[in-house]
């Protein structure tokens, strides 16, 4: 699926969204402008109900992001050290122009076909965006290796005393990028990762460039589908090495244990809104390969009644267990203590809600977060820590996951 040439639209429009959909019949969503917007700087009571009402009120396609700190309203938690980036905890909007397209078809979902921006958007879809090598920057780790090892040792202590049995520990990379760098950075990130849940979101000065390989939650035809990732290894330099690395990941007792722990957590989350006895694991610990890594992915599904609205579903499942650990609430409390800055939108989700109430949300990982006013650029990388975790291997896995991010900016 080619990347449309949105450079001009990103410069002229305040709101732009491009979502890739990894279905067998691959297509993309493109949204330009904002007819109406729902924006919350911080969590507050009723925020998820407001999102549900917003998505229903227009009978239209809406897009946006859910920040990790929505957890504070869902579970009555706190974030003592907020993210320095300043992204809203929730940003959702209805584009003035919405288009769904593939390499072989184009469908206008909303907007005036005679609007000059519609004409420009349709033309941009025909052109493949070129990777621009004009951006210069640098992403640097905020933690030293010793800092990560110290935090990991504390996680292991928490596991030994029974507070958690898995915790997702993340560390940030920070840098700067010019105010007009967001789209070129996304284009470069997409070329390096070819990630199935890639996305670009621009809401005023707040930008998200996502190379996510992971689905959080999809609702379609009365079914909920979640596909957590736990277990990652690099791609090989030869077909033989590549196959051997994938086999080693599939056979790893540690990685399978991590994956199964999160599968159990997701099953429990889904059971809170699922129809009775409908939760099932339809795929356990399968290996999926993307451009840069092999990953272990499981699929959990359930049936859901029409009475269960978006707000109730998100209260049961957000944030995703693959980015917290288990038990979820205890893990989130310790994450806030161990990680020196709040995650902001990282570990949250971006996606769409359709006019019928169906939706598809990714997991906001392997992503860049940009404030075009302050020119601050941040990414976060982490992994699940269990009793079997080896500090050096976990540290190297973080660097593996960050490789495409660093290459996107540091070149």
CA gyration radius for the chain? 20
Rounded CA separation 18/31 (Å): 7
- Residue 371 reports pLDDT greater than 70: yes
Which DSSP category does 298 fall into?
Answer: E
Residue 304 lies in a domain: no
Phi and psi at 226, nearest 5°, equal: -125, 140
Residue 1 lies in a domain: no
Residue 387 lies in a domain: yes
Position 134 confidence tier, pLDDT thresholds 50, 70, 90: low
Share of the chain above pLDDT 70, in %: 98
Is position 312 annotated as part of the catalytic site? no
Is position 230 annotated as part of the catalytic site? yes
- Region 8-25 average pLDDT: 90
Position 82 confidence tier, pLDDT thresholds 50, 70, 90: confident
Q: Which of 230, 255, 339, 397 is catalytic?
A: 230
Residue 69 lies in a domain: yes
Mean pLDDT computed over every residue of the chain = 93
Quote the pLDDT of residue 24: 65
Tens-place pLDDT, residues 195-209? 999 999 999 999 999
Quote the pLDDT of residue 8: 94
- Residue 335 reports pLDDT greater than 70: yes
Residue 239 lies in a domain: no
Full residue range of the structural domain in which residue 45 is found: 7-219+342-409
Position 411 confidence tier, pLDDT thresholds 50, 70, 90: low
Angle at alpha carbon of residue 177, lines to 175 and 178, rounded to 5°: 155
Contacts of 382 (CB under 8 A, 6+ apart): 168, 169, 170, 171, 398, 401
- Residue 375 reports pLDDT greater than 70: yes
Q: Is 192 left (phi over 0), alpha (psi -120 to 50) or beta?
A: alpha
Share of the chain above pLDDT 90, in %: 83
Q: Which of 214, 301, 339, 394 is catalytic?
A: 214
Residue 129 lies in a domain: yes
CATH of the domain at 125: 3.60.120.10
- Count of structural domains within the chain: 1
Residue 272 lies in a domain: no
Tokens of 139: 């992403």
Quote the pLDDT of residue 289: 87
- Residue 291 reports pLDDT greater than 90: no
Residue 194 lies in a domain: yes
Quote the pLDDT of residue 228: 93
- Region 216-228 average pLDDT: 95
């Amino acid at each position: 699926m080619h990347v449309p040439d949105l450079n001009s639209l990103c410069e002229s429009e305040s709101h732009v969204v491009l979502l890739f959909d990894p279905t067998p019949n691959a297509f993309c969503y493109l949204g330009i402008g904002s007819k109406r917007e729902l924006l919350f700087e911080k969590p507050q009571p009723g925020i998820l109900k407001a999102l549900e009402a917003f998505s229903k009120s227009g009978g239209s396609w809406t897009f946006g992001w859910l920040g990790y700190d929505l957890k504070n309203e869902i579970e009555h938690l706190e974030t003592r050290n907020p993210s320095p980036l300043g992204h809203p905890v929730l940003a959702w909007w209805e584009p003035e122009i919405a288009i769904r397209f593939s390499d072989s078809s184009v469908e206008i979902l909303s907007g005036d076909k005679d609007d000059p921006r519609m004409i420009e958007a349709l033309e941009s879809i025909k052109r493949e965006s070129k990777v621009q090598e004009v951006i210069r920057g640098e992403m640097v780790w905020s933690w030293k290796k010793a800092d990560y090892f110290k935090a990991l040792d504390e996680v292991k202590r928490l596991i030994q005393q029974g507070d958690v049995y898995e915790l997702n520990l993340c560390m940030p990379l920070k840098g700067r990028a010019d105010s007009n760098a967001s789209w070129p950075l996304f284009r470069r990130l997409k070329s390096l990762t070819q990630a199935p849940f890639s996305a670009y979101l621009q809401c005023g000065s707040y930008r998200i460039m996502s190379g996510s390989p992971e689905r959080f939650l999809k609702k379609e035809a009365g079914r909920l589908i979640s596909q957590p990732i736990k277990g990652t290894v690099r791609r090989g330099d030869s077909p033989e090495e590549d196959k051997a690395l994938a086999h080693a990941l599939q056979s790893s007792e540690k990685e399978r244990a991590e994956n199964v722990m999160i599968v159990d957590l997701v099953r429990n989350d889904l059971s809170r809104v699922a129809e009775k006895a409908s939760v099932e694991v339809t795929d356990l610990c399968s290996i999926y390969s993307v451009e840069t890594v092999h990953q272990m992915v499981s699929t959990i599904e359930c049936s859901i009644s029409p009475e269960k609205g978006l707000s109730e579903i998100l209260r049961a499942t957000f944030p995703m267990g693959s980015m917290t650990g288990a038990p979820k609430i205890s893990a989130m409390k310790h994450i806030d203590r161990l990680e020196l800055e709040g995650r902001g939108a990282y570990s949250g989700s971006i996606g769409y809600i359709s006019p019928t109430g169906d939706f598809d949300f990714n997991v906001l990982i392997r992503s860049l977060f940009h404030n075009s006013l302050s020119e601050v650029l941040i990414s976060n990388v982490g992994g699940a820590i269990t009793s079997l975790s080896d500090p050096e291997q976990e540290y190297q896995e973080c660097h593996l996951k960050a490789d495409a991010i660093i290459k996107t900016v540091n070149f």
